[in-house]
Structure 1
């Protein structure tokens, strides 16, 4: 078998309509030629995001807990933000979000994975990065809305993995980032 990878498909676009224009993302309805016929699909058009697994020297992950209205929960997450600055590469977005959300900078950055969050319902791609060599910085960033009462904790990576596997931590970006980080650490240890 050749290398396993997702496969890009180019379809003839028959029509596309903006169904809803939102503050952050839009809803679109596309009709495409597929096989011997046509199909219409609605989806959320999303700018994408970058997220950070900030790992300190004791292998604690910096987590934030904030309210998320669609799920009506305060879930645990890793720092993340939209790719909403024109021309800003995902790594720069990740660096900016780490500073804005948890007042940290990092000396070492590594791309972990890029993932489609919900390919059946939106076109969002989240780029996850591992940040190490953390240091505190002073910021004057004003946190509002869900960020105004955000909780920040450093949690052992092993506890985060346990929470993901037990179903207590269900944020997909957190789960992917924590599991990818554990694999990076495992590979680094086996290479020594």
Structure 2
């Protein structure tokens, strides 16, 4: 079947793997979690250009939606942009091959002291593919309850972190008004609204769905 407006075959608008030839690579900077790499890449016309980008281990984020249609959010200082941003719980994939669901469950517990019984993959994104290889898997978590045990100790920026539960509709309004800017919150909120308006949350991918951008151990 073809879309009459665009002439594109149904299902043809899909990102696909491709790797252009790299003639040289150096890593001028290595940090605690990320590094900067410089590749000399062969273009289709045969020219060679230099591309600098951040190498990132990947991340997970959680759109945790409670029974009152409120989202668990936190407010945290982000030094590079000099702002306190409202965000959804998120964190790095610190362990190579770590199951992203396990990492997401950990982040929800550590940052919000919340657990969830129902988990789905909401969406997968590259945050800034022109300058960083970070891939993020955003989960939808439902059937929430308070986690058992003591709260996780926080430090540094997290020591000043605020927690709240905000109606999903209010977050949508804030996103469209230009008042909320965190990538995972924006993508997660709008994806949740689109999913519910479409086939519903139960039609989302299962929590253990494959993730080619960051393959993981089952």
- Whether TM-score is above 0.5 comes out as yes
Mind listing any 5+ residue stretches in structure 1 that lack a counterpart?
none
Query: TM-score of the superposition, structure 2-length normalised?
Result: 0.84
> How much is the aligned-residue C-alpha RMSD, in angstroms?
1.5
User: Which of 97, 114, 130 does residue 124 from structure 2 map onto?
Assistant: 114
Pair 1:161 & 2:167 matched: no
Aligned twin of 2:25: 16
Once the 2 structures are TM-superposed, how far is the Cα of residue 11 of structure 1 from its aligned partner? 1.4
Once the 2 structures are TM-superposed, how far is the Cα of residue 30 of structure 1 from its aligned partner? 0.5
Aligned twin of 1:45: 55
Pair 1:185 & 2:185 matched: no
| Count of matched residue positions in the alignment of Structure 1 and Structure 2 | 191
Deviations 1:101-121 (A, max 9, x none): 000010000101100100111
Q: Does the CA contact (< 8 Å) of 1:100 and 1:139 recur in 2?
A: no
Change (3 A) 1:81 1:190: closer
Mind listing any 5+ residue stretches in structure 2 that lack a counterpart?
1-7, 203-218
User: Which of 82, 95, 101 does residue 85 from structure 1 map onto?
Assistant: 95
Structure 2: distance between partners of 1:21 and 1:190: 40
Which structure dedicates a bigger proportion of its chain to strand?
A: 1
Once the 2 structures are TM-superposed, how far is the Cα of residue 187 of structure 1 from its aligned partner? 2.6
What pairs up with 1:98-113 in 2 under 5 angstroms? 98-113=108-123
Once the 2 structures are TM-superposed, how far is the Cα of residue 91 of structure 1 from its aligned partner? 1.2
SS in 1 for 2:66: coil
